[in-house]
Every structure is written in C-alpha cells, then in structure tokens.
Amino acid sequence: MRVLLVSDDSLLEKNIAGLGMLVYRVLTPRQVRIGCECFVPEAVVVDFDIGEAEALRISKRIRDIPDSKDTILFWVLPHPLAVGSCMGRAIARLRVSEFFVSAAGKAVLPDRLRALLEARCEV
C-alpha cells in the first residue's frame, strides 16, 4: 500500500511505514504533483502543521490530478476548533475521507489508515 505524506513530522512517517506501507513524504505542491503522477498513492495524509493555506492548496491540487480521484484523503488538523463552517465546506468539496486532531489523531491515524485501505482492497 502506497501513502503520500504531506508533513514534516518524521515520527508520523515512521509510524505509517512501520505498518508495512510504502511512504513518500513531500512538502511542496510541486512534489505532490510529481509524487501523485509517478507514485499514484492509495492514500494521502495532509498535516495542517505545514500551514492551513498550503494544506488546502495541496489538497486541491491532489484532487485535480486525474489518477487521484479515488485516493483516500486524510487531514491532520492542529486543534479541534479548526473544523469550522468554512473548513466543513472544504472537507466536502475536496472529498476528505477523514480528519484527525493533531497529537491524539496522529497516534490513531496509522491504524485507521491501514483499516480503510484493507477494507478497500477486500471490496
């Protein structure tokens, strides 16, 4: 299973890779485009610690790539209050599969990611 990780969190990368997933970590929109074109991930994890505007721009860019329309998109938000009305519209528009709140979310995300990807493979 291939995961594109948009984050500078090396612990999150290690936890996802520790589940036997191939992780490609990127930080810029250009790297995302290149990663999605040659890597075609089953899931993309966008960590909002890179900045809200950048995370939204990257999420939109991911959805604009034709081969990534069915890719599972996870957001890791910095705090619970980040899920406001405008963020709710972005979640719907960009077809975000799930979102997690920072520290606690990063702890459960790898297992949730594996469960969703395994369920998708069984279908």
CATH T-level topology, domain 2-122: Rossmann fold (3.40.50)
Q: What is the pLDDT of residue 81?
A: 56
Q: What distance in Å separates the CA atoms of residue 103 and residue 100, rounded to the nearest whole number? A: 9
The pTM of this model reads 0.81
Question: pLDDT tens for residues 56-104?
Answer: 888 888 888 887 778 888 888 876 655 555 566 676 667 777 777 766 6
* Site of tokens 């969703």: 116
Q: What distance in Å separates the CA atoms of residue 59 and residue 55, rounded to the nearest whole number? A: 6
pLDDT level of residue 105 (50, 70, 90 thresholds): low
Q: What is the pLDDT of residue 82?
A: 56
Question: pLDDT tens for residues 14-52?
Answer: 888 888 888 888 887 778 877 777 777 888 898 888 888
Tell me the domain boundaries of the chain: 2-122
105 φ, ψ (degrees, to nearest 5) = -65, -40
Q: What distance in Å separates the CA atoms of residue 80 and residue 5, rounded to the nearest whole number? A: 21
Q: What is the pLDDT of residue 53?
A: 83
Q: What distance in Å separates the CA atoms of residue 16 and residue 3, rounded to the nearest whole number? A: 8
